Amino acid sequence: MVRIQSGTAKPADAFAAVKYRDYWYWIDDRDFRSKGIFTFLMVIMTLTEKGEKVQEPVVTIQAN
């Protein structure tokens, strides 16, 4: 699956990053497998858009 990293400092080399409740979550730019899966999911979501307003899916991240 996709490897999501987390930390309190803003990541230096992130493919995609988001700050949520004082923590940063990101996909490392060197993680080609996760980048590929994430990009594939974004393409699939784009292809399924019909132009009408629908609720977007919620991405959940398992915290260990």
Condensed to tens digits (0 to 9), the pLDDT of residues 12-54 reads 999 999 999 999 999 999 999 999 999 999 899 888 877 766 6
Which range scores top for mean pLDDT: 6-10, 52-56, 57-61?
Answer: 6-10
pLDDT of residue 32: 95
pTM over 0.95: no
In one letter, which amino acid is 26? W
* pLDDT for the residue numbered 20: 94
Q: What per-residue confidence (pLDDT) applies to 64?
A: 64
CA separation for the pair 36, 56 (Å, rounded): 21
* Joined tokens for residue 18: 């988001």
